[in-house]
């Protein structure tokens, strides 16, 4: 696959992954914010499983991005290329698979917990609480693997100028905000997904969409530091 096709494929995967991630929140994510999360999840019905499928779609789509980018990033820095594959291709994908599994288990457990009530469902509720804690712990891992992988990518893009530097700087600034929100969740928000408002993630969401469209329309820019990269048409700064 040449660099122009790689840029189009990566842009398309970013859009698929991001749209699937947003869909997972719309379908199921708000159920976790209910006063009793099991009541909130049970009320979602089949939407919970649909949200889990959206999470898995996002994870698989984004897992292919480091694979496609590795030969190109390697020309600028092999360390960066390997780091990107490890954080975004391996570790992050594992976390999405684990979250998917937790959501599917909760989709089955939550209605049983609600029907059983407090007295008869103590054992079920304990099992559900354990799955919720695992899901939250894995979610926190996802925040950090995603953030570290993104820092590697945008740092490499900034140095190589494969995309305009304003896109790279925007990505670095936005992902630092996300990383800061992750630390707030971890140390001040008691690990709750609702401790940080959802809009805090909008800058990185918008940046990735702009970058994806740029890749599809313009391709990668030529770089003196990366031999063999073919510029897309109209790749002005």
Distance of CA 232 to the CA centre of its chain: 27
Encoding tokens for residue 155?
A: 């740092």
CB atoms within 10 A of CB 189: 15
pLDDT in tens, 193-235: 455 566 778 899 899 999 999 999 999 986 544 544 444 443 4
User: For all residues of the chain together, what is the average pLDDT?
Assistant: 86
pLDDT of residue 225: 47
d(CA 68, CA 73): 9
For residue 3, name the pLDDT band (cuts at 50, 70, 90).
confident
Nearest to 146 by CA among 219, 206, 71, 65: 65
- Give me the sign of the Cα torsion angle 153, 158, 161, 166: positive
Task: Report whether pLDDT(16) > 60.
Answer: yes
pLDDT of residue 189: 52
pTM of the model: 0.84
Distance of CA 43 to the CA centre of its chain: 26
* CB of 66 closer than 8 Å to CB of 89: yes
Task: Report whether pLDDT(63) > 80.
Answer: yes
The conformation of residue 200, written as its DSSP 8-state character, comes to G
């Amino acid at each position: 696959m040449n660099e122009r096709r790689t840029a189009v494929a990566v842009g398309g995967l970013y859009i698929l992954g991001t749209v699937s991630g947003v869909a997972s929140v719309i379908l199921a994510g708000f159920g976790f914010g209910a006063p009793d999360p099991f009541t909130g999840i049970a009320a979602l019905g089949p939407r919970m499983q649909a949200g889990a499928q959206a999470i898995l779609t996002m994870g698989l789509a984004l897992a292919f991005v480091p694979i496609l980018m590795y030969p190109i990033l390697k020309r600028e820095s092999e360390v960066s290329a390997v780091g990107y594959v490890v954080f975004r291709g391996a570790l992050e994908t594992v976390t999405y698979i684990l979250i998917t599994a937790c959501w599917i288990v909760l989709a089955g457990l939550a209605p049983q917990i609600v029907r059983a009530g407090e007295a008869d469902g103590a054992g079920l509720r304990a099992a559900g609480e354990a799955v919720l804690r695992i899901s939250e712990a894995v979610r926190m891992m996802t925040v950090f693997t995603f953030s570290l992988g993104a820092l590697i990518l945008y740092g490499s893009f900034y140095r190589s100028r494969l995309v305009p530097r304003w896109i790279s700087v925007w990505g670095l600034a936005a992902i630092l905000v996300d990383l800061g929100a992750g630390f707030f969740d971890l140390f001040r928000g008691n690990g709750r997904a609702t401790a940080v408002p959802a809009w805090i993630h909008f800058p990185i969401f918008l940046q990735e969409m702009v970058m994806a469209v740029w890749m599809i329309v313009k391709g990668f820019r030529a770089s003196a530091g990366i031999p063999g990269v073919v510029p897309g048409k109209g790749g002005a700064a």
